[in-house]
Amino acid sequence: MLGIGLDRNLPTVLLIDDDLISREVIATILTLNGYTLETAEDGAAALNLLDKKDFSPQVVLADVRMEGISGTRLVDELRRRTRASIYAISGSALPDDLKSAVDGFLMKPFGPEELQALLESSRKSAEVSNVLTNDPVIDAEILGQFRQMMPEKTVRDVYSAVVTDLRKHLEGLGGAVARHDSAEVRRIGHTIKGGCGMAGARQAARLGALLESESDELNNSEAIRIDLQTALESLEAKLKVEFPT
């Protein structure tokens, strides 16, 4: 079944379920909410789909308790064929090895809200991974404007202050995430977005915006914090090039 009324901003989904009713109910929920979708009735059909068709899902929803290729074997075979996030769906609890093999788990029966929350989490995870790939460390236009307006030492001091401030916010962010303090996580994200955005530190600013948009569940805060540390290190390296001592 291919998605109708699709939204290109939503992840493409591969649904694997050997139960016809479950497959149709989940597929209906997804298509009505704009997702592009392919379905497979078992593990072998899903692997065949990935092998033979021009189809690259961002999310796989897989019943991991099926006849044939199933469990960790199915997850391993999927990992060989796709970089998608793999979420298990099952009517019973998962053993530890299977739980650690997948990126998340929904217990059947689950409602549309739970499914939507899971896929929203996956979408945000994709946004996080794209920031460091697609955004420049420093916006060249903003850096050029600073250099026209201010002496070189002053420009260097501005970015040194950005680095110092970002280190402080990273420390506070680690504590807020550990405490599950969503209000503080969003406050720190808002501050990073504003300060780094003004300085043209694009990667850090985008990650700050993602923190600010986090839900109360804080599903992606730790991943964003780790990428923010990487963005800080990239910023420091870029400044050594721009302002050699």
pLDDT profile of the chain (245 residues), mean per 10: 46 90 89 87 92 83 88 90 86 83 82 76 60 80 94 94 95 90 93 94 91 76 86 94 89
Task: Look up the CATH architecture of domain 13-126.
Answer: 3-Layer(aba) Sandwich (3.40)
Residue type, 6: L
Reference 22, options 58, 65, 53; nearest CA is: 65
pLDDT digits (tens, 9 = 90+) for 22-50: 899 889 988 888 888 899 999 999 999 99
Write out the DSSP string of 55-88.
---SEEEEESS-SSS-HHHHHHHHHHH--SEEEE
Spatial neighbors of 86 by CB under 8 A, at least 6 apart, are 60, 62, 75, 78, 79, 101, 102, 103
Q: What is the pLDDT of residue 148?
A: 94
Q: Which CATH number fits domain 135-242: 2.40.50.100, 1.10.8.60, 3.30.950.10, 1.20.120.160?
A: 1.20.120.160
Count H helices and E strands in the chain, helices first.
10, 5
pLDDT digits (tens, 9 = 90+) for 85-125: 889 988 888 888 888 888 888 888 877 778 777 777 666 56
pTM over 0.85: no
Residue 235 contacts residue 138 (beta carbons within 8 Å): yes
Domain ranges of the chain: 13-126, 135-242
- The first and second tokens of residue 220, run together, are 């992606």
Residue 32 contacts residue 62 (beta carbons within 8 Å): no
